[in-house]
Structure formats: C-alpha cells, structure tokens
Chain A
C-alpha cells in the first residue's frame, strides 16, 4: 500500500497482476506471503503490532507471520488456514492481488478457486524434501486451468546452506514434472522466504537470474488475450427511454478476449443475428476501440433481438451447443447422483442441465486418466458430459479461458457444486 519514490510515469503505467501461491503449508507458504507483504512495506505498524501481540499471547517469542494472514477466529485458534483470502501489495512497477489459498485442507478445490482468476502462480517446493505429491497435484491443476505463467520457487535454501548442487537436483525434478503436466519452460528459482534472500533482496552469487519479486514484476499480463478472437458476453441491455436518451439502446458487458472497433460487424450467439458497431461507450466516455478487460456498452446499427446470456463475436464464430463434453472439478461434499438435475452458468447464461455419468477420473498423483464411472467425490477431477435445456455459446477452455469455463449450481440450495471446463480433452495433460 505504501508507495515511495514513485514517478509520474511509474504510477500512470502501473498495472495489476493476479497471483496465486500454491504449495503445502510446510513448504513455507504463509512465510512467503508474509515476506512479500513485509518487503513491499504493505504491512502497516498497527497490523504488525497486533500480529506481534497475538504471537506473544500464544507464547511465541518472535512474530508469527501466519497470524497476519490467518484472519478467522477458528484459523487462529487451530493454526490452520480455512479459506482463500485475498491480499494486496504493490511495488512502484505493479500492483498485485494475491489469492492466499490453504495448503492442506481441501487442496484441489481451493487451488482451483485461486487459480481460476490468476495471471500467474508461484508453486513452492521445499528444497530439503524436493518434489512432493502436492507439487505434482498443484502443477497439474495449474496446467489444467491454464494459468498463463507458473513459477516454481525452491524454498528454504538457507536450510541447505544455499547448495547450488541441491538446487540443480530439485530443479531437474521440477522440470520433469512440468513437462509431464504440459507446463513448458517454467521459471525455476531458489529463495528463502524466511530470510528474504532472492525474494525481494538479491540471491546468492552463483545465481544469475532475477529475484522472485522481479520475475513477478516482469511477467506479461493478458497481452496474449488481445490477440484472441473477440468475445463479449452480454450482461445487460441498457435502454433508458428517458427524455434525454429516448432512443439509446446498448449491449453492456465486459470484453472477455480480443478487441472491438467501431465499424466492426458483430454477431450475437446463439441467436446468430449480426449488425455493425456504431458506438462504444466506456467508463470514461465514448471510445473507438474496446479491448480485453474493458467494461463497455456497445451500440449497434440495427435493433437486434439480443438479450443477456448471448455472446458477441466478430470474425471467429463461437460454438453453440446443448451438450458440453466437460471436465469437472467436484466441489461439494455430496457426490453427484445419476442424471442429477442442476443449473449451469456459463458466462452470463444460466440454463437448466442434467449431468451424465463419469467417463474417467484424473489421478492427480500418477498424472494420468483412469477409467471410472463412479460418482465424483469432493476434490475429484473427472470427465462428465452435461446435457443442457437450452443452447449456450462456448469455446473450448483450451482455446479460450474466459468463454470456456462454467459453474454447476444446485437449483435447490444455490450451492456451487463444480467448476467446469468445456472440451473433454485436456490438451497436454493427457500425455502419459
């Protein structure tokens, strides 16, 4: 939160990176989160003192950084992290939203939640134990969810006297896991979250690369999405019918991928009707172009019968279907029942749906698909086909993260039952 020595250029161009930190608690996750907050001066004096006070109240002699992040009564009482929390820190270059996920409780579900919105992930590996089952699981889930950048931080280097040889061994194992789950050329670097070396401070002499914080500052954000085909799920039709704006009619939504210019021809899916863009109204007024991430209202030359739930596209059409061949991560305590009736929300479209039988389960330890028709249990990842009551416009998740995801909702309780990815093929994850 504290910015020092900023210049006008720094702040004006400062962007935002959404980050998730994976790895088990024992790998030093809480310490790293505390370290990042501390070294970017995002912990203010009263928070620090309250945390110190709470640590001392529990008999500790030094500050327990985990108490800084574990905010709930039950978490502090039991010394565990229950739920995903979000933290904020900033450097003069970039601001960060950090999804702080629990390491060992309900790991897949929480990692999926944190990873779904992340631009980048840091996977912690304890250099003493090397690659663990947790490392493989997290790498697989991050690959499955197509988090654009995955960084492996080999932690606790201070505990092995910054042994270059030991780092090289673990890095080789990490490269092997990354290749098996389809993460190409990941960044791998040595750190000590405890001492701060190579986090924000410089690393050892033998290490020529950047520190973790510098790596995170350098990662590109969403640039690739601008080159993807244009997609805009329609949230709302804005039609004021006021004396000032009697004829205004705009389609409001947030650009999910690609870009749109005034003069482009757009088609709405599933309805299939087309028109020309005559105006784009953004948050600061009329604009000639909208790109990924912008919340805008699009005005068209013709009055199309387009409603919430449709997706606007330009040159590359989006698929319209009533049958999703999908990969589900099951998030509920109760497994699905055969032909269970559910709701599917994809983008801004909610429709009634029915779950098919399981066609296979991803073994997160062996990193392979297993034949199984047993119902998915909590945290399971499986292939399931979903029959929809109405057509929806979707892309394969492998092609478009933003328009390829959906959630499964219990119509009675409203609970979110599963995270869904369209397309049964997980791409690189299917390699043995």
Chain B
C-alpha cells in the first residue's frame, strides 16, 4: 500500500475546486445576504478556504454562522474564534443554551442536543434575514444527502421536500425564492471524505487539533469512544480510559465519537481513511443510527 500526498496537478481535485468556486460565485452574485455555516469542522474549513479563493483579492462578503449546541469541544471553539479573528470575518453564533434558558427549547430526555439545533438555526436565519446558506454537506455522507441538490430551496419552516426538488440542469443554478424562503447551497456536494482530506493536504488547510491523534480520557458508549463533558458520562458501567484517538467528524459532543488512531499528520490520516472499512458517519455519529432514515427526517424538519 502506497499512500500519496496529491499535488496541485491532481486533475480531479482541481475540477472539484473549480466547480465549488463557480457555485460560491453564483451565491455572491445572486443573493443579498448570504451566510456560510461554519462549525470549525473540516468540511466547513475547506468551504471557507474555497469561499476566500472565489472572491480573492476582495474580502469575503459572507457572514459566518455557527449553531453552538453548548456541547462543543473547546479545541474546536478556539479554532473557530482564531479563524474568524485572523480572517477579519463577521461571525454570528446561535447558542442553543439561550433557547433552552428562555424556554423556546426543552432539553431532550437523552441529553443529546444535535436535534435541537434546527430551531436556533431557523430563528437566526429569520432574524438576520439570510437568503442563502452555504453549507459543507457532501452527498457521500448519507443516502438522503445523495439526493440533495446543490441549490436547495427551503420554505419558511426550513423544510426539505425531496419530491419537490428542482431539476438541476447543466451548471445553471436556480436560487430564485419567495420572501421568507431561503436557499441552502452545497458547493462541495460532489466531494468525498477522501477528496476533502486530499484537498486539505494540497492546500495546507488548518484544522482543529482534534482531527489528529492525541491522548484523551474516553469512555465507550454504543461502540463509540466519547469524551466526558457537560453532556454527561461516564455513567454506571462506563469506565474512563486514556487512549490515542482522533475525530473523523466534529459535532455535538454527546453523539460524536472519536476513533482509536495513531495518525498524527495529514498523510497518516489519508492513509488511515484509505484503508478504513467504515464511513465517517457509520464510525462516529450516533444521531444517524437512530433510524434507517434519520438524516432525511432531520432534513425535512429544517436541519442543516
């Protein structure tokens, strides 16, 4: 097994990059108040990198939006704030804690906050009057996402109706929408997890440290390694162990697990996922295991 760090001559990567830049430019040109969903995760870091390129040398005319469940790892929030400060970007944070405090949301019995993000997201889109939301979702993540259009119009409830999607023809994107509706746009739809990592390597995109192997106290739940935190645990028979781990996805701490890993560099990460027999979501996302169509159900409700 030979692992290769791709160079700038990798044709398929450059093609994916050119496509993403084209899509981002369409958003900048056609919408009045676009926002970019930025969680500090690898997909949104790549998306932000592409957005800066799309308008270079002009400053980014797009607000960053983060829905903070209150259960994020501190390394990720530090990374988010550092990126915003260095880039001189405008960041809007919708804190789920505020919605819980004033009663607009109620904590779930299982303590997971990932499904609670939808209401703060939709409220903030309405308050800020965002008309387009760029997101780093990829079609290879999930069966329901494989059906997603690059430009996807959502009604005032943020609802996604797969039966009413617009056909997407040639590279002509139709983002026309009525007041109150908004358009979700996914410029890296056609990328795979490996493409994202190859691009991170080629462009040296900075990421939170938790994407690389590090020692961390973790406990096992439903076959995943979780970090103790405000979301609870370890409970009962769950015991803490210190392991060398890394995260393949970044999200709510209550449902995003780490994988055992010794991959400390980008090259080692690429080698690891090249031979992995698990998808990133299958390996580390409990929220997708709730039912056969968990992602579709959340998307219908307005989830990103």
| Contact partner, B167, options A2, A45, A112, Cβ 8 Å | A112
A221 to chain B: closest CB distance in Å? 9
Given contacts A46-B279, A112-B167, contact A284 B1 (CB under 8 A): no
Are A14 and B11 in touch, CB under 8 angstroms? yes
Are A239 and B1 in touch, CB under 8 angstroms? no
The answer to the question of B265 belonging to the interface, with a C-beta cut-off of 8 Å to chain A, is no
Are B167 and A6 in touch, CB under 8 angstroms? no
Are B293 and A72 in touch, CB under 8 angstroms? yes
Instruction: Note all chain A residues with C-beta closer than 8 A to B3.
Output: 6
Enumerate B104-159 residues with CB–CB distance to A below 8 Å.
Answer: 139-140, 142-144, 146-147, 153
Bound Cα distance A248, B55 (Å): 12
The answer to the question of B190 belonging to the interface, with a C-beta cut-off of 8 Å to chain A, is yes
Instruction: Note all chain A residues with C-beta closer than 8 A to B276.
Output: 44
| Contact partner, A83, options B7, B163, B274, Cβ 8 Å | B163
Are A46 and B278 in touch, CB under 8 angstroms? yes
The answer to the question of A295 belonging to the interface, with a C-beta cut-off of 8 Å to chain B, is yes
A118 to chain B: closest CB distance in Å? 10
The answer to the question of B277 belonging to the interface, with a C-beta cut-off of 8 Å to chain A, is yes
Are A308 and B57 in touch, CB under 8 angstroms? no
Instruction: Note all chain B residues with C-beta closer than 8 A to A46.
Output: 277-279, 282-283
Q: Mark A65-87, 1 if CB is under 8 A from B, else 0.
A: 00001111110100000111111
Are B169 and A419 in touch, CB under 8 angstroms? yes
The interface centre, meaning the residue of B58, B153, B279 with most chain A CB atoms within 10 A of its CB, is B58
Are B21 and A239 in touch, CB under 8 angstroms? no
The answer to the question of A4 belonging to the interface, with a C-beta cut-off of 8 Å to chain B, is yes
Instruction: Note all chain A residues with C-beta closer than 8 A to B97.
Output: none
Bound Cα distance A283, B9 (Å): 12
The answer to the question of A390 belonging to the interface, with a C-beta cut-off of 8 Å to chain B, is no
Are B2 and A7 in touch, CB under 8 angstroms? yes
B254 to chain A: closest CB distance in Å? 20
A191 to chain B: closest CB distance in Å? 24
Are A242 and B58 in touch, CB under 8 angstroms? yes
Q: Which of B22-30, B69-77, B244-252 contacts A (4 or more CB under 8 A)?
A: B22-30
Enumerate B273-287 residues with CB–CB distance to A below 8 Å.
Answer: 274-279, 282-283
Instruction: Note all chain A residues with C-beta closer than 8 A to B26.
Output: 235, 348
The answer to the question of A213 belonging to the interface, with a C-beta cut-off of 8 Å to chain B, is no
The answer to the question of A201 belonging to the interface, with a C-beta cut-off of 8 Å to chain B, is no
Are B10 and A331 in touch, CB under 8 angstroms? no
Instruction: Note all chain A residues with C-beta closer than 8 A to B278.
Output: 44-46
| Contact partner, B147, options A83, A293, A346, Cβ 8 Å | A83
Instruction: Give A contacts to B, CB under 8 Å.
Output: 1-8, 10-16, 44-47, 50, 54, 69-74, 76, 82-88, 90, 94-95, 97, 100, 109-110, 112-113, 116-117, 235-236, 238-240, 242, 244-245, 248, 252-254, 281, 283-284, 293-295, 297, 308, 331, 343, 345-348, 401-402, 405-407, 409, 411, 413-416, 419
Q: List 9 A-B contacts (CB under 8 A).
A: A8-B4, A46-B278, A46-B282, A112-B169, A242-B58, A242-B59, A254-B171, A407-B174, A414-B177
**Given A11-B4, A47-B279, A72-B293, 4 further pairs, Cβ under 8 A:** A69-B143, A117-B170, A240-B57, A283-B14
Instruction: Give B contacts to A, CB under 8 Å.
Output: 1-4, 6-12, 14-19, 21-22, 25-26, 28-29, 53-59, 139-140, 142-144, 146-147, 153, 162-163, 165-172, 174, 176-178, 189-190, 192-195, 274-279, 282-283, 292-293, 296-297
